[in-house]
Each structure stands twice: as structure tokens, then as C-alpha cells.
């Protein structure tokens, strides 16, 4: 069975910014076939796709508010709404979203957590330790009175 090892560049005590290119290396007995590197941008893309498919998500937002309001990210910048850290060979994600007003926030957040975790683990074979969902705002649906 192939075991995957996540090699990362470590900084001082805490990783404050995104680590350099995490590399996933399949090991086939004593003769590895080669090295596979998965860039953080690819992990962001997997997470963004999983978030976007969740019911009740209005959009992905920037991590910071502007005058107390969420900043909805344009399609080309959605990766900014997902922050990635790697600690002890496990992925930790912080995602920033706006949800639809009137729906159960906790249910949508749980759905986002499980969907993102499942998608990344399925595609990469690397454990996801945490998916932290930050609800930056609520928005009324287009057809609401």
C-alpha cells in the first residue's frame, strides 16, 4: 500500500503564513517512482469547489471585513477566502463565507466542514485535521420579500 508523506518547510515555532510547497511523496517499497508536489493553490481550488457546492453558501469572502461588512470575492480571487496551514503533516483550513439568511448556520457550517475535509482527503490522501468555518455575514436570497 502506498503511504504518503507530506514534506514541508518549517519556520520558527508557529507557522504564521502559508508554508512553502507541501510535497506529497508516494513510497512504493524501497523504490519510489518519483515525487509528487501539490501546491497550496491546488488545495485551495479543491476547498473552494467543495464550499461552492454546499447548500446555503452565498459566497466566499475575504478574511477581513470592510466597515463591518463582508467582502464578497470575485471568481478569480476565491482562493483568498481559504487559508491553509500544515501542522504535523496534517492540513488545517480556515474558510471565510457568507451564508443565506434564514437557514440554520450550524448545519451549513457542518456541511462545509465535512465536504471540504472529504474532498481534500479523497483527492490527496492526506489527513485534514481541522476545517474552521468563519461566517462573515448573512445575505437574503434574491427572491425574498
User: Does residue 91 form part of some domain?
Assistant: yes
* CB of 36 closer than 8 Å to CB of 24: yes
User: Does residue 79 form part of some domain?
Assistant: yes
Domain with 114 in it: what CATH number? Answer: 3.30.70.1350
User: Does residue 47 form part of some domain?
Assistant: yes
Q: Determine the 3-state secondary structure of 89 from DSSP.
A: coil
pLDDT tens string 36-53: 888 899 999 999 999 999
The Cβ of residue 103 has, within 10 Å, a number of other Cβ atoms equal to: 15
Predicted model pTM: 0.76
pLDDT tens string 130-145: 999 999 999 986 655 5
Q: Give Cα separations from 108 to 13, 22, 31, 54, 145 (angstroms).
A: 34, 29, 44, 7, 22
Better-scored residue on pLDDT, 93 or 32: 93
Residue 58 to residue 67: CA distance in whole angstroms: 20
- Residue 38: per-residue pLDDT: 87
DSSP, residue by residue, 8-45: ----SSS--SPPS--EEEEE-TTS----EE--HHHHHH
User: Does residue 34 form part of some domain?
Assistant: no
Q: How many domains does the chain have?
A: 1
- What are the grid coordinates assigned to 84, written together? 491553509
- Residue 55: per-residue pLDDT: 97
* CB of 103 closer than 8 Å to CB of 56: yes
- Domain extent for 106: 40-139
User: Does residue 118 form part of some domain?
Assistant: yes
Candidates 20, 36, 42; CA nearest to 120 is 42
What's the chain's average pLDDT? 81
Amino acid at each position: 500500500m502506498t503511504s504518503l508523506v507530506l514534506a514541508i518547510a518549517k519556520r520558527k515555532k508557529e507557522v504564521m503564513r502559508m508554508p512553502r510547497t507541501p510535497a506529497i511523496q508516494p513510497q512504493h517499497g524501497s523504490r519510489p517512482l518519483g515525487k509528487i508536489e501539490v501546491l497550496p493553490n491546488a488545495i485551495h481550488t479543491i476547498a473552494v469547489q467543495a464550499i461552492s457546492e454546499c447548500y446555503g453558501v452565498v459566497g466566499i469572502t475575504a478574511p477581513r471585513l470592510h466597515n463591518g461588512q463582508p467582502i464578497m470575492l470575485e471568481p478569480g480571487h476565491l482562493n483568498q477566502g481559504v487559508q491553509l496551514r500544515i501542522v504535523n503533516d496534517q492540513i488545517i483550513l480556515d474558510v471565510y463565507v457568507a451564508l443565506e439568511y434564514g437557514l440554520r448556520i450550524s448545519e451549513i457550517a457542518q456541511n462545509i466542514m465535512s465536504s471540504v475535509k472529504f474532498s481534500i482527503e479523497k483527492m490527496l490522501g492526506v489527513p485534514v485535521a481541522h476545517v474552521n468555518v468563519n461566517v462573515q455575514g448573512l445575505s437574503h436570497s434574491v427572491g425574498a420579500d
